[in-house]
Amino acid sequence: MKMRGIVLISLLCLWPTATLAAPPATGWSELSPQEREVLKPFEQRWTELSPERQQQLRQGAARWQQMTPEERNRAQERMSRWRQMNPEERAQTRERYRNFRELPPAEQKRLRQSHERYQDLPPEERERLRERWRTMTPEERHEFRQKNRLPKQHSESDDAARPGSRR
């Protein structure tokens, strides 16, 4: 009897921790109409998703709903490019993102501003710069990075995508 009481108390002590560790699953019908609209591609397999994945998707839907039309267009373009990447390109992109996030905030800001200036260039000028980059030797690229304080990339395939890194 005493043992049963100890087990029961132990289970009761662990129960709140276990329920707090994972968010509860959300039924499709519990989603708001706006969430259902954004998450429609997941409707058929919603119940198969883990509660954590459901929560991530709901948070993404909330961010999507807060975006301006221009931000949504850019996000759709990025998603489209991501889907077209092969696994190696995705791994390189993840690595670049990790490297960027490890930079000091001032350096991140400088790189963002540089990228914005590049994006503001006319398409012909961007293409001219991309072509110039492609024809540079590794030494010329290194010299360019030193002169312009760009972080060194890990491989020549990374270098092929610079500047602009859009293919």
pLDDT at 159: 46
User: If pLDDT is split at 50, 70 and 90, which confidence band does 14 have?
Assistant: low
pLDDT tens, residue by residue, 21-70? 567 888 999 999 999 999 999 999 999 999 999 999 999 999 999 999 99
Number of structural domains the chain divides into: 1
Task: Identify whether 78 is part of a domain.
Answer: yes
Task: Identify whether 67 is part of a domain.
Answer: yes
Task: Identify whether 102 is part of a domain.
Answer: no
111, with CB counted inside 10 A (0-12, 13-18, 19+), is middle
Q: Which residue's entry shows tokens 């100890």?
A: 6
pLDDT tens, residue by residue, 73-86? 999 999 999 999 99
What does pTM read for this prediction? 0.54
Task: Identify whether 115 is part of a domain.
Answer: no
Number of helices (H) and strands (E) in the chain: give both, helices first: 9, 0
Task: Identify whether 75 is part of a domain.
Answer: yes
Domain that residue 49 falls in: 31-84
Task: Identify whether 166 is part of a domain.
Answer: no
pLDDT tens, residue by residue, 74-117? 999 999 999 999 999 999 999 999 999 999 999 999 899 989 99
Task: Identify whether 161 is part of a domain.
Answer: no
